Structure 1
Amino acid sequence: MTRKSPQNQEVETTGHSWDGIEELNNPLPKWWLYTLYVTIVWAFIYALAYPAWPGLRGASAGFLGFSTRGEVAGDIARFEALNASIDSALAAADLTEITPGSDLYTYALNAGHSVFLNNCAQCHGAGAAGNVGYPNLLDDDWLWGGTLADIQYSVTHGVRNTDDADARYSQMPKFGADGILEDAQIAQVVNYVLQISGQDFDAGLARAGAAVFEDNCTACHGADGTGMRAFGAPDLTDAIWLYGGDAVTLTDSVTNARFGVMPAMGLRLSSAEVNAVVTYVHAQGGGE
Structure 2
Amino acid sequence: MSEKHKDEITGVETTGHSWDGIRELNNPLPKWWLYTFYASIIWSIAYWVVMPAWPVIWNGQWTYTEGVIGYTNRNSVADELAAVAEGRSEVMREIAQTPLTELAQDPKLSEVALAAGKASFGDNCAPCHGSGAAGGEGFPNLNDDNWLWGGTLDDIHTTLLHGIRWEADEETRLNVMMAFGDLGMLDRKQVSDVAEYVLEISGQEHNAGAAGRGAEIFAQNCVSCHGEDGTGNQMLGAPNLTDAIWLYGGDKATIEQTVSKGRSGVMPAWGGRLDEGTIKSLTLYVHSLGGGE
Equivalent residue for 2:274?
Answer: 269
Give 1:76's match in structure 2, choosing from 58, 81, 86. 81
Q: Which residue does the alignment assign to 1:98?
A: 103
1:87 aligns with 2:92: yes
How far apart are 1:3 and its partner, in Å?
4.5
**One-letter identity of the residue aligned with 2:283:** V
Q: Deviation at 1:114? A: 0.8
Q: How many angstroms does 1:112 deviate by?
A: 0.6
CA distance in 1, matches of 2:4, 2:191: 111
Alpha-carbon separation, structure 2, partners of 1:185 and 1:279:
44
Partner in structure 2 of residue 185 of structure 1? 190
Offset, 1:60: 3.3
Q: Which runs of 5+ in 2 are unaligned?
A: 8-13, 20-25
Contact 2:104–2:284 (8 Å) recurs in 1 = no
In the alignment, is residue 161 of structure 1 matched against residue 166 of structure 2? yes
1:9 maps onto 2:10 in alignment: no
Deviation of 1:9 (Å): 2.6
Q: Structure 2 matches for 1:131-146, cutoff 5 A?
A: 131-146=136-151
Residues 114, 2 of structure 1: CA spacing in aligned structure 2 closer, same or farther, 3 A cutoff? Answer: closer
Query: Stretches of 4+ moved more than 3 A in 1?
Result: 1-8, 29-52, 57-60
Q: Distance in 2 between matches of 1:2 and 1:148?
A: 93
Deviation at 1:218, TM superposition (A): 0.8
Following the alignment from structure 2 to structure 1, what is the Cα–Cα distance between the partners of residues 66 and 149? 50
Residue of structure 2 equivalent to 1:23 = none
Q: CA deviation at 1:101?
A: 6.2
Q: State, as a whole percentage, how many aligned pairs show the same letter.
A: 44
2:144 partner SS: coil
Q: Establish whether residue 205 from structure 1 lines up as the match of residue 210 from structure 2.
A: yes
Counterpart position of 1:230: 235
Amino acid at match of 1:205: A
Q: SS at 1:117's partner residue?
A: helix
Deviations 1:52-93 (A, max 9, x none): 425438543222221222222222222222222211110011
Q: Rg larger in 1 or in 2?
A: 2
1:176 corresponds to 2:184: no
Structure 1 residues 147, 68: CA separation in 2 closer, same or farther (over 3 Å shift)?
Answer: same
CA 1:59/1:171 → structure 2, altered by over 3 Å: closer, same or farther?
farther
Structure 2: distance between partners of 1:40 and 1:162: 61
Change (3 A) 1:82 1:213: same
User: CA-to-partner distance for each residue in 1:121-179, whole Å, 9 max, x for gaps?
Assistant: 11111111111111111111000000000000000000111111111111111111222
TM-score (norm 2): 0.84
Structure-1-length-normalised TM-score: 0.85
Query: C-alpha separation between the residues in 1 aligned to 2:223 and 2:260?
Result: 17
Determine helix, strand or coil for the equivalent of 1:9.
strand
Secondary structure of 1:229's counterpart equals coil
1:40, distance to aligned residue in structure 2 (A): 6.9
Matched with 2:52 is 51
Go from structure 1 to structure 2 and tell me whether the alpha carbon gap of 1:167 and 1:30 turns closer, same or farther (over 3 Å shift).
farther
Distance 1:94 1:50, change over 3 A: same
RMSD (CA atoms): 2.7
Indicate how the Cα distance of structure 1 residues 203 and 39 shifts in structure 2: closer, same or farther if over 3 A, else same: farther
Going from structure 1 to structure 2, the CA distance change for 1:3 and 1:79 (only over 3 Å counts) comes to closer
Of the candidates 261, 264, 276, which is equivalent to residue 259 of structure 1? Answer: 264
| 1:219 equivalent in alignment to 2:224 | yes
